[in-house]
Structure 1
Amino acid sequence: MRTFIIFIAIFVVAFAKEDKCEVCTKVLNDIIAKVPSGKNNNQDAISKTIREHCATTKGKENKLCNYIGALPESAASVMNDVSKPLSWSMPAEKVCEKLRTKDAQICDLKFDKDIDWKTIDLKKLKRKKYVF
């Protein structure tokens, strides 16, 4: 019985962690992929790549870029808190978790879920999950 409870607890934690900071993780992984080879440890090159990447983003990704200060119209900037750990080869998930302590909005961003209108039961639909 104890092993069953432990298994369920691990299962719940694994699925709960899946949705955390999904926009931040995706954007930072895209940025890491765009950094020129040989400049992975250069903080200035990473900052430049972040700004170039954020100039082309839209939607939730653009909102994240605004939160981290990579856009010209951003009110505050935590670019050093993003580029410095990336220059140390810290994984994007860890960088996002550290940014969460600075600004909780960064990890609150979620991608919109696609709705399959043919199989969905509108009577059982949660309003919070699917906003029209």
Structure 2
Amino acid sequence: AKLKPGDCEVCEKVVDKLKQSLSNEEKGNDETIEDKFVELCSTLKNKENRFCYYMGGTEDAATRRLRDLSKLIKYDMDSFLICERLNKLDSQICELKYPKKIDIRNVDLRKLKVKELKKVLSDWDESCDGCIEKDEFVKRIEELKPKYLKEEL
């Protein structure tokens, strides 16, 4: 299946950050691009850090794909096209997605998956002890809503 813009959101965002950190002169040098990528990776967390791991930009990375990345940046390709090429080398790259923010105020909780309901509770550092059924999670979130969603005056 052909990728659409946005299918590789984490990759695109990291590549954009890397490209912005490079001067035109630096974009012509593989080693400089790779050094800057490793430097950038040391500041990234969560999904973005996982992308760095897949590319070899972290110290614990199993593979090193830095040259693949630096060559594509040298050709001044669009971030989406770079990620499309990298995805052909490692399909995990485009499987990385940012977690979706759930707007608790305006969402019908009964339409969310249990996994999403659990995430809402964990984001609030709350739990639902003994909850098994979806309705129990919904009830717990409804109970906690006033505590976490104070209405703005």
Residue 80 of structure 1 deviates from its aligned partner by 0.9
> Which residue in 1 is equivalent to 2:9?
22
Tell me the percent identity. Answer: 36
Higher Rg of the two aligned structures = 2
Please list every run of 5 or more consecutive structure 1 residues that lacks an aligned counterpart in the other structure: 1-12
Residue 126 of structure 1 deviates from its aligned partner by 3.9
Deviates more, 1:33-42 or 1:20-29: 33-42
Give the structure, 1 or 2, with the largest relative contact order (CA under 8 Å, sep 6 or more): 1
After TM superposition, the score normalised by the length of structure 2 is 0.71
- Residues 32 and 126 from structure 1, CA distance in 2 versus in 1: closer, same or farther, beyond 3 angstroms? same
- Equivalent residue of 1:97, what SS? helix
Q: How many residues align?
A: 118
Please list every run of 5 or more consecutive structure 2 residues that lacks an aligned counterpart in the other structure: 120-153
After TM superposition, the score normalised by the length of structure 1 is 0.81
Of 95, 120, 129, the match for 2:107:
120
- Equivalent residue of 1:40, what SS? helix
> Which residue in 2 is equivalent to 1:39?
26
Of 25, 36, 40, the match for 1:49:
36
> Which residue in 2 is equivalent to 1:58?
45
Residue 50 of structure 1 deviates from its aligned partner by 0.4
Measured on the aligned residues, the alpha-carbon RMSD in Å equals: 2.0
